[in-house]
Homo-oligomer: A and B are copies of this chain.
C-alpha cells in the first residue's frame, strides 16, 4: 500500500516539468530546441522524454485539430440528473452507450454528471440528447449548447 502514498509527482524534477512544458506547447519541437530552453544537451533531453513516456507521465503526443474543419460544428455540455444514487460504473456504462458523448464527469452540485457531446449539427445534437435521455435511470437533462470556443489551453 505504500506506493499508493508515494505520489508519482515525486519523480518529476523541475527539469522534467520544463521539458513537459515545452512539449505541451509544441510536441514536434526537436530535442535540441528543448535542450536550449532548459539547459541540457539534445541527447539528455531525449533520455528524459523517453523515460517520461515509458513511465506513463507523458501518455502520448497529439495534433490539435480545428473541430469545425472536421465537420463537428456543434458542441454541448449537458448536465445529467440521475434517478437514485448513481455509481460511477453505472454512469459510465449508461453514458458510454451514446457515441456522441466524448467526455463525462461525475460532479458535485445538483446534477449528478456533466457530459460533453460533439455532433455534426443541431438536429444531430438533439437526437443524441434524446438517446441520452432514454438511457435507464437518466431522469432529466439540462443542456448548454456551445456558441463559441473562447479558450482551449493545452494542459500544463
Contacts and interface: CB of A to CB of B under 8 A. Distances in A.
Contacts of A61: 26-28, 61-64
Interface residues of A, number: 66
Copies of this chain in the oligomer: 2
Interface stretch (A37-45, A51-59, A126-134): A51-59
A153 interface: yes
Nearest to A142: B109
A8 B69 contact: yes
A135 to B, nearest CB: 13
A81 interface: no
B146 A68 contact: no
A44 B150 CA distance: 34
Given A8-B69, A62-B61, A65-B59, A103 B144 contact: no
Contact of A66 (B8, B63, B147): B8
A79 B143 CA distance: 12
Contacts of A67: 155
A12 B67 CA distance: 13
Interface of A: 7-9, 11-12, 17, 20, 23-28, 56-72, 75, 77, 79, 88, 91-92, 95-96, 101-109, 111, 113-114, 118, 142-156
